[in-house]
Structure 1
Amino acid sequence: MDSPKNGNEEVVTIGEVAITLGLTTRTLRYWEEVGIIESVQRSDGAVRGYTPYTIRRIKFIMKLKELGLTIKEMQDLYTVYGEAKQTERMIPRLVEMLDEHINLIDAKIANLSSLRKDIVDYRKRIAQKLADSVEGKRMA
């Protein structure tokens, strides 16, 4: 990603970031709108771009999204992280959120397991009725 410098930091265009990370520019703009990332104006005044810090943040957001966190949860994390950029304030909240997601997944797994058992039992009963019906017709 070759990009102009903004102050001391290299700024990568929104298009380059989107292509490199497999996102759409629309997604990146939306994340800006909801306040979980920020762009900077390129030094040449052209399209917006992202600093290396923001690109790392985008990758972190992608991972959180993959883990099931919502935009609202990410906004909450960003608020906890705060202007001081204190990771040690964010980590306990992130752990709490991940624990909540683990509990939800465990509940879903339990429900799916129960549903699977019900379906297997029902299938056995139906298959037995079919077998009994076929056998009864042969005997007649």
Structure 2
Amino acid sequence: MGFQVITLTDAAAGRVREIIAASGPDAKGIRVSIKKGGCAGMEYEVGLVSEPNPRDDLTERDGACVWVDPAASLYLLGTEMDFEVTKLKTGFVFNNPNQTSACGCGESVELKAADLAELAKAREAAH
């Protein structure tokens, strides 16, 4: 059995469903990827999906579909995607165990690839 790359909180799933509903009949979900940029080196990127890429990893929760770019999978493995509304910011939040640092403004992060051997050991120990 493989690892699920990303999980969604109830709040994230609800927001994804809202985005799909507001985006018209072609909207199927959202896609999460990472790109180089920002002070810390990488940024999370979220976009609308109308035509899913069959190579992407799909996570579904209560009708909310999130696809993950395969190039980002090792950097996002074990990530919990949440949605927060605060006084200063509203948006998706990524609780990523592979994040080693973030810039002061919170727009970019430094990520390391997940250690699959360590994840397998942790999974074995839990069972």
TM over 0.5: no
What's the TM-score once normalised by structure 2's chain length?
0.26
Greater Cα radius of gyration, structure 1 or 2: 1
> TM-score, structure 1 length as denominator?
0.24
Larger % of strand: which? 2
Structure number with the higher helix fraction is 1
